[in-house]
Amino acid sequence: MNNKDQAKIEFEESSGNVFVDLGFEDADELFARAQLGFHVTKILKDMGLKQREIAKLLGMAQPDVSHLMNGHFSRFTTDKLLDFFKKLDRKVTIHISAHKRGEPYQEIGLAP
């Protein structure tokens, strides 16, 4: 197959927030919850706990643990996800700064 036979692939550059790209009205909130949920699950996976142990630690039902660990973060409020960090003995720090063009409005990261 030569270059003439290959179909040209069209793409659109992401804004950095898939929920904005998909046109969700509450995109910033969904993105923040996705980032928080990702970090909660990363900590839990690093701890090597079983789902029933996670349920006990976070004070939730095992089916909810399954949703959390499978990335269904929209099932949890931002407050609930932040509460999980407390139960995991993690400190959450919020920094507020001026927004620069091209940057996401919300950034969430895990300190080393």
Tens-digit pLDDT profile for residues 58-74: 999 999 999 999 999 98
What percent of the chain is modeled with pLDDT above 70?
94
Q: What token pair was written down for 37?
A: 């949920």
Alpha carbon distance 45, 21 (integer Å): 29
Per-residue pLDDT, 3: 60
Contact 54, 65 (CB under 8 A): yes
Measured in whole angstroms, the distance separating CA 96 from the mean position of its chain's CA atoms is 19
Q: What is the pLDDT of residues 28-52, one digit of tens each?
A: 889 889 999 999 999 999 999 999 9
**pTM reported for the whole predicted model:** 0.78
- Whats the size of the chain, residue-wise? 112
Q: Report the chain's mean pLDDT, rounded to a whole number.
A: 88
Measured in whole angstroms, the distance separating CA 23 from the mean position of its chain's CA atoms is 18
Per-residue pLDDT, 4: 61
Alpha carbon distance 19, 82 (integer Å): 20
- Superfamily of domain 19-87 in CATH is lambda repressor-like DNA-binding domains (1.10.260.40)
